[in-house]
Structure 1
Amino acid sequence: MDSTCGSTKPNDDRIKRGWINGFIGVVIFSGSLPATRVAVMEFDPVFLTVARATLAGLLAVCALVLFRERRPVRNQLLPLLIVAMGVVVGFPLLTALALQHVTSAHSIVFLGMLPLATAVFGVLRGGERPRPAFWLFSVLGCSLVVVYAIAQGLRASLQGDALMLCAVLVCGLGYAEGAKLSRTLGGWQVISWALVLSLPLMATLSGFYAPPSFAGISPQAWLSLAYVSVFSMLIGFVFWYRGLAQGGIAAVGQLQLLQPFFGLALAASLLHETVSPGMFGVTVAVIACVIGAKRCAK
């Protein structure tokens, strides 16, 4: 078989479904940072993190009971805890803290690094072995984002950028671990059980960090909280983990390079944030990288 990128391979319905599910998940996730940016203007970032996890956890409990899903076995508990620490607690909290220092448009550019992080953890935790050319495209996309962030350094917040970098790392680990686990447990079941494991702590902290009064909270802030709770924390992962499991963690993970494009469009249209030509150019460039990475993933 020809091993060069773009060689003809038999159609694989499972892989196609993986890319479709992954794309739907990315579209849903694209609204997360703009919505978080709106919410943290009126909610404490810690409260926002635990409240969204609590609301999503309650929905997950209802779904698991309704469909009478079997409980995870003992050797699945540690991976579920890693998923919970990565995507239920770590990424939401770190991004919420970062968005107190940077705009959602600036933070979205950092998401261009997430596919590389996911691919690395896919190799370490999922046992995948993409071609060398895949890493070339993945590293190129990541490098474009890093160079742009450095170029913005004098005007951006070092603290905000550091928080976003940490968020990307823990999220990549959570994505890869959840995708690996979803092969045996199921896509929506993984995020649901991770939310359930986190629910006692998240519900307790929600009461502890709740503001004295919710009077004066705007409808936009409430809608943003609802979005990140229902869509970003639960529904998006139903499609995302299924896509990663079907199409491959490293390969489908490159779809995250499209997330900045959708996110920047939302930031500009809904939040009226400025999207500079340089920011747009970086986004277009990393989108081009996903095409090459997809062709060379296996």
Structure 2
Amino acid sequence: MKPHEVRGLWLGLLGVAIFAMTLPMTRLAVGTPEAPQMSGLFIALGRAVVAAGLSAAFLLAARAPLPRPADWPALAVTSAGVVFGFPLLTSIAMREVQAVHASVIVGALPLATAVVGARLHRQRPGSGFWLCAALGSGLVMAFALHKGGGGGLSLHAADLLLLGAVACAAVGYAWGARLSQHMRADHVICWALLLSLPLSAPLAWAHLPQTPLPPSAWWAFGYLAVFSMWLGFFAWYRGLALGGTVRVSQVQLVQPFLSMVFAVPLLGEALDLSTLAFALGVVATVFVGRKMPVRVAA
């Protein structure tokens, strides 16, 4: 692997570590059916508004140029996927399922991102890469079946929302990575957030919480706004641009397990040795897969 590809993998891993806190923090902010906190709509849209404010200040300080006219459609697709689609669908779903369960479903994201990225960026991974990707995804699903007990994976209505969120994120990641080939990665997410502001701001205001909430819910919301919705993309899009969307997307295979680790102290959810064993297996597929060739189609 070339030095810039290795750097891309490390930046991608940093982004994944930041994103891994998203599901536990969302669960903390949205609450449970028995003890609801913020609405999923406010969490998704409100965090986009806060991040857009930070983006405006950042772009002004950096004297960032306006995107090219041809870039606005791609920014709109990116915004639809990662500013609206993924946050909105996961925020609504997280009141109904635990973070550990949701982390398993979102484990399909690396493969989805690789498929979209390969098509969009005209990359042609070899059979060895796809074998590693399929093996990693298979381990994630095997883990889901294992944790589901004798009856297998217990599906929730919210799982459909989570699968929709996976599709939205895969599209948003791939298009954002494409823009990051000629725009600064930190500028991509900033412009995507500002583009969403005319819609996100009034909707967030309409769903502003009307009752007092515990500080933990607001701290979780703050993390989602500053890190999940903003800073995490600085590292993630830069990593995708340097290392290639198809290859770096597989680093996301460790995200479900990191989310589970974070869910233990934050939410009191359980983590056992079998979870750690599956995590090591998934990490191994990432390690092997990163060495597999990925060609660019002519």
TM-score with structure 1 setting the length: 0.91
Provide, for residues 41-76 of structure 1, a one-character-per-residue CA deviation record: whole Å limited to 9, x for no partner: 110001111000000011111111111111111211
Task: State whether residues 56 and 233 of structure 1, in contact with CA within 8 Å, keep that contact through their aligned partners in structure 2.
Answer: yes
Q: Which runs of 5+ in 2 are unaligned?
A: 32-36
Match of 2:179 in 1: 181
Match of 1:19 in 2: 9
Match of 1:46 in 2: 41
Match of 1:139 in 2: 134
Match of 2:94 in 1: 99
- Residue 281 (structure 1) shift: 3.7
**1:108 counterpart (103, 110, 116):** 103
Q: Work out the CA distance in 1 between the residues paired with 2:81 and 2:265.
A: 29
Provide, for residues 78-114 of structure 1, a one-character-per-residue CA deviation record: whole Å limited to 9, x for no partner: 1111111111111111111221221001111223211
- Residue 125 (structure 1) shift: 1.0
Task: State whether residues 145 and 153 of structure 2, in contact with CA within 8 Å, keep that contact through their aligned partners in structure 1.
Answer: no
Task: State whether residues 133 and 293 of structure 1, in contact with CA within 8 Å, keep that contact through their aligned partners in structure 2.
Answer: yes
Q: Sequence identity, in percent? A: 39
CA gap of 1:291–1:154, structure 2 versus 1, over 3 A, is: closer
Provide, for residues 12-68 of structure 1, a one-character-per-residue CA deviation record: whole Å limited to 9, x for no partner: 221122112111111111111110010001100011110000000111111111111
Larger deviation, residues 17-26 vs 145-154: 145-154
Task: State whether residues 44 and 87 of structure 2, in contact with CA within 8 Å, keep that contact through their aligned partners in structure 1.
Answer: yes
CA gap of 1:161–1:283, structure 2 versus 1, over 3 A, is: farther
Match of 2:144 in 1: 149
Q: Which runs of 5+ in 1 are unaligned?
A: 1-8
Larger deviation, residues 141-150 vs 53-62: 141-150
**SS in structure 2 of the partner of residue 129 of structure 1:** strand
Task: State whether residues 80 and 172 of structure 2, in contact with CA within 8 Å, keep that contact through their aligned partners in structure 1.
Answer: yes
Larger deviation, residues 154-163 vs 135-144: 154-163
- Residue 261 (structure 1) shift: 2.4
- Residue 148 (structure 1) shift: 3.8
**1:249 counterpart (232, 242, 245):** 245
Match of 1:89 in 2: 84
- Residue 154 (structure 1) shift: 6.2
**SS in structure 2 of the partner of residue 244 of structure 1:** helix
- Residue 286 (structure 1) shift: 1.9
**SS in structure 1 of the partner of residue 125 of structure 2:** coil
After superposition, the CA RMSD in angstroms is: 1.6
**SS in structure 1 of the partner of residue 209 of structure 2:** coil
Task: State whether residues 144 and 153 of structure 2, in contact with CA within 8 Å, keep that contact through their aligned partners in structure 1.
Answer: no
**2:220 counterpart (213, 221, 224):** 224
